[in-house]
Structure 1
Amino acid sequence: MEKPQKLLVLINSLGMYDWSLAAKFFLNTQVFAGAVGNGGSERHQNFLNQTRNMEVGSNICNNQMSHGSNTKAIRTVAHFDASTKEFILNSPDFEAAKFWVGNMGKTATHAVVYAQLYTSDGQCHGLHSFVVQIRDPKTLLPMPGVMVGDIGKKLGQNGIDNGFAMFYNVRIPQENLLNSTGDISPSGKYTSRYKDPKQRLGASLGTLSSGRVSIIGMTVVNLKLVVSIAIRFSATRRQFGPTEKEEIPVLEYQLQQWRLIPYLAAAYALDYFSKSFFMNLIELQIGILMKDRSPRQAELGKEIHALSCAGKPLASWTAQHGAQECREACGGHGFLAINRLGDIRNDNDPNCTYEGDNNVLLQQTSNYLLGLFHSIREDNIPCESPLGSTHFLNDFKTILSHKFTARTARECLDCTVPLAAYKWLVCYLLRESNQKLQQERQKATNDFDARNNSQVYYCRSLALAFIEHTILQRYYDYTHDTSTPASLQPVLRKLCTLYGLWSLSKHMAVLYQGGYFTGELPGKIIQDAVLELCAELKDDAVSLVDAIAPPDFILNSPIAKADGELYKNLWSAVLQGEKVLERPSWWAEFCTKKPLIAKL
């Protein structure tokens, strides 16, 4: 397990410096290599060796211009020519062009291309993946029949050359089919260990889950960066004070604490979840490589899929909102590009879309939970998830009978309070979502419409509450584990409780609606507890940031250097700007021509 952990550290460290650099490395060495390693066999080892030695540049081609998440609708086709033992790839029209492919615009030489496989008898066997050479590694010129290019400038991460590709009678060897889900025999007959086409499709796309798990880590890194900048700035920026002669750091203000410190707590909780979840993924991948066909392996795959489909949205949205809050909390200096908050915000933004639109992905998680709910209620089958994320659902009825019992803010400072509330919240939303779905099924003409009309206020909220509970439970267990240094446990437990209460406060309406909260007291004391925890953590905030912030060279923000010399560093950076003291090249024209307003 040591090697995967080192790899995670390497990618996240590169990302702290420049996510475009980290993403290019990750797409080549992990996404492409993972798709080939998990989807192929021994005959594809040469591609893995070339990737490992950085002899080729690569990625995967899944999305089309006209279809993103709807993989079933991919129209790129691969016809098997039995006479030459080759597949012939074709893009039927420009809407079928592979689009948004990272590394494809300028540098990719090979790609894993998803296409509909047709045997020589004209029968379609569904979506499969193929290794296709895109460019000549020595010249970077396109291979015959391949049209490839760059899609243009984006809102962020422009160091990644996202591109498009189309195929016109491109011939590839039969052996380039990644054959873990299906293969072609020497006689040209299609064979597969999956009888159900749906299972075959799921297995073919299963390798894509690693991208969502990795994005969780990417967004946590972004959250660490913006929180580090904003809290260091707030600890050194002085404005106003009790007297005219005394100015105090803005971090001393309750409003600034309330804006920033919950995001610091979120960074810690999400960081632990990201790292532990990554190791869960490694466990799954080891099982795949060892050809583990056990029921536990199957359930582990389903659980990781469900958690990644909610974890990616929650983490990317938290980083997105945190980046904006941190930018505003640094005032005008936060708007200066040299202080980097804008670049981090923009580079994080696509994480809300890559590997699946956040809102669409959440449906995968709610579908998983609704399936478990049916098993519990109808078939009396207990939840036995390998990672334990759904075990509490076995006490569904008992949990729903609970009520909020805390009477003071001090009682809420124990993390068991938000944990208990979250268990009730997930059970309540699961019951309500199931009822809503059944009602819609009675009205709708098909299951598609029923599920579509059960998302807002129901299934979407269910998925978010479930992943928030999972993250909180994991971090709670970590902060109470004997392996966690006793000297660190008090402050880490405060962070845990703050993250739980802060996240829970966004569900106040549902907690009152379902009857878990009654009267005005619960809402008030939770708000008071959040503020109290922010105040208690304020003096530790800089030390907590120092523990997660990279060196100044990597953080690369003048207002957030570890020495605390805010204005000295900012002034120095401004003066070192390009041509900052020079008059503009168009000075003569500006000085000699009369302004347009004067003519008017």
Structure 2
Amino acid sequence: MAPNSNGNDYNQTSQDALLPDLPKGPLCMYRAKSSFNWKELLLFLDGEDMIILKKRIFSAFENDPLFAHHPGEELPIEKYRELNFLRCRRLFEYNFLNLQEMMKNPLKIFMLINCLGMYDWSLSAKYFLNSYVFASTILNSGSQRHIHFIQKTLNMEIFGCFALTEVSHGSNTKAIRTTAQYDPTTQEFIINSPDFEASKFWIGNMGKSATHAVVYAQLYTPGGQCRGLHSFVVQIRDPKTLLPMPGIMVGDIGKKLGQNGLDNGFTMFHNVRIPRENLLNRTGDVTPEGVYNTSFKDVRQRFGASLGSLSTGRVCIIGMSVVNLKLALSIAIRFSATRRQFGPSDDEEIPVLEYQMQQWRLIPYLAATYALDHFSKTLFMDLVELQRGLLQDDKSIRQAELGREIHALASAGKPLASWTAQQGAQECREACGGHGYLAMNRLGDIRNDNDPNCTYEGDNNVLLQQTSNYLLNCITDRHQDKTRIESPLESVNFLEDFKDILGQKFKISRVEDCMDSSVPLAAYKWLVCYLLQESYQKLNQERKSGSDDFEARNNCQAYYCHSLALVFIEHTVLQRYHEYTHHSSTPAPLQPVLQRLSALYGFWSLSRHMAVLYQGGYFSGEQAGKMIKDAILDLCAKPRPCRGGDGQGGHGARQGRRHGAVPGHVLHNGHVPNRRADSHQ
């Protein structure tokens, strides 16, 4: 996959105009020893438009008293939620992105959500759930008759939420129990919650502020026939008074472990009547007389299309998790570069970042951040392609395959990113010692705010089964139909060489030959094929022993399919980042540091699968394992020659210890703001 090259041709003058030099401070020593020009890197990764957008957002927050943070002050939940709503309303006044800009560059939506999250995830979630999830679900699942809902949302005449999850059903969406019975005498749907376990629960914005919801319910036509899960626009509250509509019980679910500025709520419906037109009808519609129509002949295809919006949430959670990693690592690495402890003599202390253990703990997470950041952006653009196909009513085989592939990638990408952020935030907290436990350092908030990413839009462990099922179906089709294994995004194409890959062995004999991500990439291809073979054989054994399909798949999860899904998504992330960092459009001065990050991410991730690599015979002898560990240490610490003459490099990096390993995005403060609104400076 070719990279989307941004900002390669900026001269020094234009760079300085867009990205002024930073004020002098305690990080100057490290910044002066960077092995590359940080401004060039930032322009390449983000591009001028994105940098300008970020500066607009953070400058607005800096100059608006409504967005002022007060360190150490804990607001009561009610006050926090009121303030969060006021801030959300102010975002509509700023109008950072208009519809034309969104259409021209959809990635700006992604950037806006993440910038808001850098400030406060409660604000980002509130804005995102209303302006993007609620509105885009109507756009993608509805038709022309629903446009007025989107217009009212953008004008903030109504405020929306997305109501899928119930008390007793989350991941198992097919078993959702809310009903929508069509009444042809009044041409209305009657929405009902059979009991409390069928109440919509955990719905963001529903607790206090939502006036409307996209509600998922089982559609029943006259005669009692269930047509499956469909989505409806249901008014929850009066927009003028915020009082519940007749037949609706709605409230707040209470304090959470984090993101308490977001009002998660519940609702129950008792004979709530809505117009027939409020059915979002892209996948199926009901005539005034009560006749059900759908263009999907396959029920599974229609169900998948009706839940296409779930991939949107999961893809965005990948990006949110990456932002949390950026924030935590910026704090921990900058602290490590200034905190001095011990030294070669009693009168000399050195920064703790100089210690191998500190590098071992933090720098691999930094590499993971860069790789996952690229993956999240490219997967978001893949999702945009899918949504455009939906809007154009594309019924092609490729469109269907694209939807399945994105579903598989998002279902594994969310667990990988959210777990990496969870573990990384904790490592950063501990790496800052006692100071990391101070609330003002925000590491605890970052960890707590990231925690729901592991659960909502699908529990991580359950979601991984979606990806392993996708892979098992690929190999099953190959065996049964002799069809080629290929996909629109090419994430599974290498499985066509399944047998040849399984015959390969690790043959590298020197650490020096491990400095490129092509080495771990080859190992990952073997690993995916090996685990897929083991999973497939285990599944067949279970079936032959008399297990039905559900029991057979269930008995394959813990030791086979779970690992398969994780290894597959790690391979995909590495594959995309490897191609990005080795592409000809990547500026030559930036290639060394980016390629080292790619190799470091590959080996660090691979090191967690050493037992399987030995078990399957890809590794043999103790030397292979030692080489991987030595490669990780070398990639964490080995310096690169510095650039000279521009104030960002020069002879300094050839003095001192191992400074070239730390990419300048972190130490130069060019990528991630702290919580204070003015900290992008």
Scaled by the length of structure 1, what TM-score is found? 0.91
Higher relative contact order (CA 8 A, sep 6+): 2
1:501 to 603, 608, 612: 603
Maintained 8 Å contact 1:339/1:557: no
Q: 1:350, 1:412 → 2: CA distance?
A: 37
Maintained 8 Å contact 1:224/1:549: no
Maintained 8 Å contact 1:230/1:329: yes
SS in 2 for 1:144: coil
Amino acid at match of 1:87: F
Deviation at 1:330, TM superposition (A): 0.2
Task: Name the residue aligned to 1:101.
Answer: 203
The verdict on how the C-alpha distance between 1:546 and 1:245 changes in structure 2, with shifts beyond 3 A counting, is: closer
Deviation at 1:206, TM superposition (A): 1.4
Amino acid at match of 2:199: A
The verdict on how the C-alpha distance between 1:293 and 1:222 changes in structure 2, with shifts beyond 3 A counting, is: same
Task: Name the residue aligned to 1:134.
Answer: 236
1:310 to 404, 408, 412: 412
Q: 1:221, 1:48 → 2: CA distance?
A: 28
2:212 to 110, 115, 121: 110
Maintained 8 Å contact 1:549/1:555: no
The verdict on how the C-alpha distance between 1:322 and 1:298 changes in structure 2, with shifts beyond 3 A counting, is: same
Q: For 1:519-558, what aligned pairs fall within 5 Å after superposition?
A: 519-536=621-638, 539-540=659-660, 541=662, 543-546=664-667, 550=671, 552=673, 554-556=674-676
Q: 1:88, 1:112 → 2: CA distance?
A: 15
SS in 2 for 1:126: strand
Task: Name the residue aligned to 1:254.
Answer: 356
Per-residue CA deviations over 1:516-567 (Å, capped at 9, x if unaligned) read 0000000001100100111126514161314675565x44499xx799xxxx
Maintained 8 Å contact 2:516/2:598: no
1:221 aligns with 2:323: yes
Task: Name the residue aligned to 1:365.
Answer: 467
Q: 1:379, 1:74 → 2: CA distance?
A: 34
Maintained 8 Å contact 1:151/1:164: yes
2:399 to 283, 294, 297: 297
Amino acid at match of 1:543: G
Maintained 8 Å contact 2:425/2:446: yes
Q: 1:311, 1:473 → 2: CA distance?
A: 14
Using the TM superposition, name which of 91-100 and 50-59 deviates more. 50-59
Q: For 1:199-238, what aligned pairs fall within 5 Å after superposition?
A: 199-238=301-340
1:38 aligns with 2:140: yes
Task: Name the residue aligned to 1:480.
Answer: 582
1:245 aligns with 2:347: yes
Deviation at 1:297, TM superposition (A): 0.8
Using the TM superposition, name which of 491-500 and 178-187 deviates more. 178-187
SS in 1 for 2:508: coil
SS in 2 for 1:282: helix
Q: 1:322, 1:499 → 2: CA distance?
A: 13
Maintained 8 Å contact 1:324/1:345: yes
Amino acid at match of 1:124: C
Deviation at 1:81, TM superposition (A): 1.0
Q: 2:562, 2:214 → 1: CA distance?
A: 32
Amino acid at match of 1:226: A
Task: Name the residue aligned to 1:277.
Answer: 379
SS in 2 for 1:404: coil
The verdict on how the C-alpha distance between 1:533 and 1:477 changes in structure 2, with shifts beyond 3 A counting, is: same
Q: 1:73, 1:224 → 2: CA distance?
A: 38
Q: Give the superposed CA RMSD.
A: 1.5
Q: 1:284, 1:547 → 2: CA distance?
A: 37
Q: For 1:107-506, what aligned pairs fall within 5 Å after superposition?
A: 107-506=209-608
Using the TM superposition, name which of 433-442 and 495-504 deviates more. 433-442
Task: Name the residue aligned to 2:180.
Answer: 78
1:57 to 152, 159, 162: 159
Q: 1:80, 1:549 → 2: CA distance?
A: 55
SS in 2 for 1:154: coil
SS in 2 for 1:87: strand
The verdict on how the C-alpha distance between 1:2 and 1:232 changes in structure 2, with shifts beyond 3 A counting, is: farther
SS in 2 for 1:164: strand
The verdict on how the C-alpha distance between 1:254 and 1:213 changes in structure 2, with shifts beyond 3 A counting, is: same
1:518 aligns with 2:597: no
Amino acid at match of 1:66: S
Q: 1:37, 1:551 → 2: CA distance?
A: 32
Q: 1:549, 1:428 → 2: CA distance?
A: 41
Per-residue CA deviations over 1:288-326 (Å, capped at 9, x if unaligned) read 101111111111111100000000000000000000000
Per-residue CA deviations over 1:355-384 (Å, capped at 9, x if unaligned) read 000000000000000111112233221122
SS in 2 for 1:179: coil
Q: For 1:582-593, what aligned pairs fall within 5 Å after superposition?
A: none
Deviation at 1:441, TM superposition (A): 1.3
SS in 1 for 2:249: strand
Per-residue CA deviations over 1:96-118 (Å, capped at 9, x if unaligned) read 11000000000000001011111
Q: 2:147, 2:225 → 1: CA distance?
A: 29
Q: 1:271, 1:118 → 2: CA distance?
A: 43
Amino acid at match of 2:160: S
Q: 2:199, 2:158 → 1: CA distance?
A: 22
SS in 2 for 1:130: strand
Q: 1:416, 1:80 → 2: CA distance?
A: 58
Scaled by the length of structure 2, what TM-score is found? 0.81
Maintained 8 Å contact 1:151/1:162: yes
SS in 1 for 2:219: strand
Q: 1:547, 1:194 → 2: CA distance?
A: 53
Q: 2:672, 2:607 → 1: CA distance?
A: 34
Amino acid at match of 2:567: A
Task: Name the residue aligned to 2:129.
Answer: 27
The verdict on how the C-alpha distance between 1:486 and 1:392 changes in structure 2, with shifts beyond 3 A counting, is: same
The verdict on how the C-alpha distance between 1:549 and 1:310 changes in structure 2, with shifts beyond 3 A counting, is: farther
Using the TM superposition, name which of 314-323 and 444-453 deviates more. 444-453
The verdict on how the C-alpha distance between 1:338 and 1:373 changes in structure 2, with shifts beyond 3 A counting, is: same
Per-residue CA deviations over 1:562-588 (Å, capped at 9, x if unaligned) read 99xxxxxxxxxxxxxxxxxxxxxxxxx
